[in-house]
């Protein structure tokens, strides 16, 4: 396996930070809602474990996407690149789907707390882009 490019490492760390921040906000919201609606909204270890595992799935998904892009950029035909990207997309989507099923089905997890972190990377990247904190254009 080739060495992981610095850009993949850097962006994965950014996404991990975004996801961790989002998870902390989610935990706070669960705690706050639990204070007002204790019978309806749980706040226990299931919420924490599910949120952390969901965050790990979300960050891993981004990391494997970065590795795929790194592999495609390093060479090969356009046809081969499309095949790699499609295979990676299917694998990552199935992995997330499996996580959603497990988060909902397993009694020691909280489905909502496990699923919500899957949205944090995309939301965070879009938010930072709108705020002008990340530049989508390459430096020239």
- Ordered DSSP codes for 85-99: HHHHHHHHHHHHHHH
The pLDDT value given to residue 138:
59
The pLDDT value given to residue 74:
80
Entry pTM: 0.88
The pLDDT value given to residue 128:
83
The pLDDT value given to residue 95:
96
The pLDDT value given to residue 34:
97
The pLDDT value given to residue 78:
86
Domain extents for the chain? 6-129
The pLDDT value given to residue 131:
86
Mind listing the pLDDT tens digit for each residue in 26-63? 999 999 999 999 999 999 999 999 999 999 999 999 99
- Tokens representing 10? 């850097």
Spatial distance between the Cα atoms of 58 and 66, rounded to a whole number of angstroms: 13
CA proximity to 22, closest of 133, 134, 122, 120? 120
Contact 70, 4 (CB under 8 A): yes
Spatial distance between the Cα atoms of 122 and 116, rounded to a whole number of angstroms: 12
Residues of the chain predicted below pLDDT 70: 1, 135-140
């Amino acid at each position: 396996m080739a060495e992981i490019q610095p850009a993949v490492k850097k962006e994965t760390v950014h996404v991990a930070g975004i996801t961790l921040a989002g998870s902390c906000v989610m935990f706070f919201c669960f705690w706050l809602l639990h204070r007002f609606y204790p019978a309806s909204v749980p706040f226990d270890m299931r919420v924490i474990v599910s949120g952390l595992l969901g965050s790990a799935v979300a960050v891993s998904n981004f990391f494997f996407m970065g590795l795929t892009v790194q592999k495609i950029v390093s060479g090969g035909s356009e046809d081969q690149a499309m095949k790699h990207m499609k295979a990676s997309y299917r694998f990552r989507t199935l992995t997330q789907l499996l996580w959603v099923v497990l988060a909902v089905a397993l009694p020691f997890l909280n489905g909502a707390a496990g699923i919500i972190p899957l949205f944090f990377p995309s939301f965070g990247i879009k938010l930072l882009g709108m705020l002008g904190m990340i530049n989508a254009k390459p430096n020239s």
